[in-house]
Structure 1
Amino acid sequence: MPEAPHVTTVPYYAQWESPELVAEIVSGRLPAQRDPNWPKSGAATPDDYAYWSWRLCGMACLRMALDHWRGTAPPPVSLAQECQEAGAYVRHEDGRLDGLIYAPFAVHARDRWGLGAESRPVLSPREVRAHLASGGLAMLSVHPSLRTLDSLRTSDPAPPHRGGHLVLAVAADDVHLYVHNPSGFPGESQRAFAVPWPELDRYYAGRGVLLADRAL
């Protein structure tokens, strides 16, 4: 399923600094440390960038919202470090990272950026569509294999679980939900990727964060 030509004014950011290299990085053909644009991320070293880059889907969504409503898109690792200080990420000594944790993230997005942000442990597709119709955006927890939705239809009809990756819902109509996918493949599933409503349930965990230009 190619990217849809749906009209949206929301900018797109991948969770890696080189959107055109996402397929190579995700497949393992190119180590994230070799992303030539890693210095733009705010990371101190290529290894620091590689660590965070696999965990930056939420920060990519935040960058899209900030660019859309505030005209700024701070480096993603810098945003992640701020979120860590706010309790939205918990980094353990063994390298494990808990997060993005929605409730402290929503508080941080409100306090730091003046966004409307609401953690929604239960968020129905109907509510997502209504929020988009009101001019808002929504960070949704989906299985990362959403980026290969078309191929999964014929090979693996259901991912092993729902959730685990964040995408930004930017628009909707009667047939599709359109998402900016931070780990989508270039020319296929990055910008305004059209997800048929009946297909969404296989990937969507039913939770997320509602975002708006002002308090909700």
Structure 2
Amino acid sequence: MTIAARTVPYFSQFASPDLVPELIARTRAAEDDPRWAESGASSPQEYAWWCRRVCGMACLRMVLVHWRGEAPGTVELALECVTAGAYVVDGERVEGLIYAPFAAYVRERWGLAATVETALEPDQVRAHLDAGRLPMLSVHPSIRTLDPAPTAQGGHLVLAVGHDDEALYVNNPSGFAGSQHYARVPWPDLPRFFARRGVVLSDPR
């Protein structure tokens, strides 16, 4: 499969993709992100509370713009997912993204097909991409730098958008410059980050 066309758009979970290193390192407060309103949040404080938690919403936003031409902001999507039970807010804690209610929300709200996967192997990811589906994959966030020794697998969602014989290509909502849009992850590197679970999305229209 060729990935040259790069037809799936990119959105960061942070409103300013160029500020991701500073926001991740907390050398810049999220409240000071000048583009915070693009998230659909009602205030910089609401944006700051959600922005580190909405990797899945950034993936969904990419999918919606790709297949539907437009999408709400990440915080707006997150609030819809709270109502749908895909996020459970308990004080300062958030449980989620919870895959089953998220998949139901995607089907009912957006008319997309969504399948929860709990034992997803790399060749199945390739097959989904070849069939025109877009898998959201649970990976460790250090995939952004291809960390040689991540502390775990999973914990962060990226969108698989293409592949070739040597590598998977992902849109990473918390990627740094060079590891955001169609970021290359060599197949031998993927298993140390990948928890083999996620949600596979497709457009039945």
Structural mapping, 1:32-181, within 5 Å:
32-93=30-91, 95-149=92-146, 152=147, 157-181=148-172
**What is the TM-score of this pair, normalised by structure 2?**
0.96
Secondary structure at 2:114 match in 1: strand
Out of 179, 196, 204, the residue aligned to residue 206 of structure 1 is 196
Q: Distance in 2 between matches of 1:65 and 1:145?
A: 23
Q: Which has the higher contact order (CA 8 A, sep 6+)?
A: 1
% identical equivalent positions: 57
Moved over 3 A (4+): none
Structure 1 residue 64 displacement after superposition: 0.3
Q: Distance in 1 between matches of 2:13 and 2:115?
A: 22
Secondary structure at 1:14 match in 2: coil
| 1:42 and 1:78 in contact (8 A); partners too | yes
CA RMSD between the two structures: 1.1
Secondary structure at 1:159 match in 2: coil
Q: Distance in 2 between matches of 1:37 and 1:72?
A: 18
| 1:57 and 1:182 in contact (8 A); partners too | yes
Q: Which blocks of at least 5 consecutive residues in structure 2 are unaligned?
A: none
Q: Distance in 1 between matches of 2:126 and 2:49?
A: 34
Structure 1 residue 6 displacement after superposition: 4.0
**What is the TM-score of this pair, normalised by structure 1?**
0.91
| Equivalences, count | 203
Larger mean CA deviation between 6-15 and 175-184 belongs to 6-15
Q: Distance in 1 between matches of 2:154 and 2:22?
A: 23
Out of 17, 23, 26, the residue aligned to residue 24 of structure 2 is 26
Q: Distance in 2 between matches of 1:209 and 1:126?
A: 15
Q: Distance in 2 between matches of 1:100 and 1:122?
A: 17
| 1:6 and 1:192 in contact (8 A); partners too | no
Secondary structure at 2:158 match in 1: strand
Structure 1 residue 7 displacement after superposition: 3.0
